[in-house]
Amino acid sequence: MLFARGETMDRFTQNLRRARKAAGLTQQQLADRLHVTRQSVSSWELGKTEPDLQTLTELAEVFETDAGSLLGEAGRPAYPRLQKRFVTGFAVCAGLLLMLFCLELGLFSYWRKLHDYGAMLYAALWKLSVPPLLWYSSGVGAVCFFAMWSPVRCGKQARLALLLAALALGLPVLALMAQYLAVALGNLDGVRVWLAPLLRRPAGRIAMQIILPGLSGICTGLFACSERSV
């Protein structure tokens, strides 16, 4: 027998079911990949029968993990790597970063060459809003990249704390951008009066455009990518 203890069998059935659902596969789809019947997969998940060693190896290959993880050895649950939602999240963040970088090279350089009020306003708003967005996306993308290879687990209270932290860190930046936009639309000189003490100091600029958005992005990514643990 492949499983000598009932505890190992219980861990395997739980891990198999979790890995299959995380991979977005039905029992029939998994059975088709393994060239077995759907009833066989159902029987494994119910703990009625067990796969042979060759099938266990094929299961690990399907979920891009190892047999030890499926068996739950050393307390490690199965974790299918490169899950679609994490790959998609990382790809979206990477694409956004690339798009903003290309626009930075094109639009912002073009606006700086113009001397009319509208171009100056667009350039100022762009310079204020893009760095926070870049660092926020970088924070989310970094967590998605990590989650593609290793699980991110948080309890219910920790997830709530991450959500509140993301909002608390992001709101000051959004409030600053909203104030800048409101004042700029009325009087560009007013922006310099109200926001110069904060934006023109290196520490304030770094905090508002890099640190707070980056930490908010990390908290958002951890909240979105984490699995509930008890």
Single residue among 18, 43, 75 that ends a domain in this structure = 75
- Residue 182 domain-assigned (yes or no): yes
If asked whether residues 191 and 128 sit together in one domain, one would say yes
For residue range 28-71, list pLDDT tens digits in order: 999 999 999 999 999 988 888 888 888 888 888 888 777 777 77
If asked whether residues 136 and 33 sit together in one domain, one would say no
Single residue among 29, 46, 75 that ends a domain in this structure = 75
For residue range 130-166, list pLDDT tens digits in order: 788 888 899 999 998 988 887 777 777 888 888 889 8
What's 51's domain CATH number?
1.10.260.40
Q: Which domain holds residue 113?
A: 84-228
The pLDDT value given to residue 32: 92
Residue 153 β-bridge partners: 227
pTM: 0.57
Residues 6+ apart with CB under 8 A from 216: 136, 139, 165, 166, 167, 169, 170, 173
Average pLDDT on 12-22 reads: 84
If asked whether residues 88 and 132 sit together in one domain, one would say yes
CA pair distance 147, 137, nearest whole angstrom: 15
For residue range 156-202, list pLDDT tens digits in order: 788 888 888 988 888 877 777 776 666 555 554 444 445 556 666 77
The pLDDT value given to residue 118: 56
The pLDDT value given to residue 37: 92
If asked whether residues 187 and 94 sit together in one domain, one would say yes
Closest to 133 measured CA to CA, from 158, 88, 100? 100
- Residue 1 domain-assigned (yes or no): no
Helix H, strand E, coil C: the string for the chain is CCCCCHHHHHHHHHHHHHHHHHCCCCHHHHHHHHCCCHHHHHHHHHCCCCCCHHHHHHHHHHCCCCHHHHHCHHHCCCCCCCCHHHHHHHHHHHHHHHHHHHHHHHHHHHHHHCCCHHHHHHHHHHHHHHHHHHHHHHHHHHHHHHHCCCCCEECHHHHHHHHHHHHHHHHHHHHHHHHHHHHHHHCHHHHHHHHHHHHCCHHHHHHHHHHHHHHHHHHHHHHHHCEECC
The pLDDT value given to residue 131: 81
Q: Which residue has the tokens 């958002």?
A: 220
If asked whether residues 130 and 176 sit together in one domain, one would say yes
**Is residue 123 pLDDT above 60, yes or no?**
yes
The pLDDT value given to residue 230: 40
CA pair distance 51, 63, nearest whole angstrom: 15
CA pair distance 85, 148, nearest whole angstrom: 9
Highest mean pLDDT among 168-177, 198-207, 208-217: 208-217
Q: Domain total for the chain?
A: 2
**Is residue 208 pLDDT above 60, yes or no?**
yes
Closest to 16 measured CA to CA, from 52, 69, 84? 69
